[in-house]
Amino acid sequence: MTLLRSAGFFAWFALISAVMSILFLPVLLLPRKATVWMARRWCALALWGLRTIAGLGLEVRGTKPAGGVLVAAKHMSMWDTLALYLVLDDPAVVLKRGLVYVPFYGWFVWKAGSIVIDRDGGGSALRRMAAKAKRVLAEKRSVLIFPEGTRKKVGAPPDYKPGVAGLYGQIGADCVPVALNSGLYWTGPAGFIKKRGTIVLEFLEPVESGLRPRDFLRLLEERIETATARLVAEGQAALRNEGL
């Protein structure tokens, strides 16, 4: 049944992605908010299909930030970007430059106001990223970053990049860490398998601005990894009870 539900969701996700990419192509000519509205509908439909077809729901814990902060999240699957974009209302997502060149998807994420980074750009790239982030924060929007830079499998050693500490040090904003356990449920080759259950996303105690970058990075990793380990253990117990 898991394979059947996973295949059903894959078909749903492919359908809504193709239809919305073509149907809403004209919004790229409209103000940014039109693209944000479309992107949020896409995320909502994807999560609706995940819950209805695959039996995989979402639980949000902790206090959702109102905006104007840096949000640093654990990254285990594509689910993370869908859920956080929807839950955070209108965040500016920090993403690598190559993604904006992906047809349709890249065009929409660029128009939605994402912050594109050049990982080989060194200090100048960090300054440009910080300048864009400050403009976003001034609009009372959140900046969403995945501090390990890529998806990590459940149980993989953490690998937090110094870029998040450099950004934190330059923008002078609080940082809200996020833990989750999506990798237990959105799994398999290319993330095809969707296990029935509930993914938990938890907003943790904020890290106040003003810490030294190295102290911030240590505290950020400690909070995210400790909470993630707890959520993973909770999810593993739930899956065992379900016989999955």
pLDDT, tens digit (0-9, with 9 covering 90-100), for 47-96: 999 999 999 999 999 999 988 999 999 999 999 999 999 999 899 999 98
Q: How confident is the model over 95-150, as pLDDT tens digits? A: 988 888 888 888 898 999 999 887 666 678 788 889 999 999 999 999 999 999 89
Read off the pLDDT of residues 176-230 as tens digits, 9 standing for 90 and up: 999 999 999 999 988 999 999 999 999 999 999 999 999 999 999 999 999 999 9
Boundaries of every domain in the chain: 55-242
Please give the Cα distance from 116 to 145 (Å, whole number): 11
Asked if residue 179 lies in contact with residue 60, where contact means CB atoms within 8 angstroms, the answer is no
* Displacement of CA 140 from its chain's centroid (Å): 19
The model carries a pTM of 0.93
Count of CB atoms situated within 10 Å of the CB of 86: 18
| Residue 42 contacts residue 17 (beta carbons within 8 Å) | yes
Bridge partners of 70, per DSSP, are 143, 175
**What's the gap between Cα 51 and its chain centre?**
18
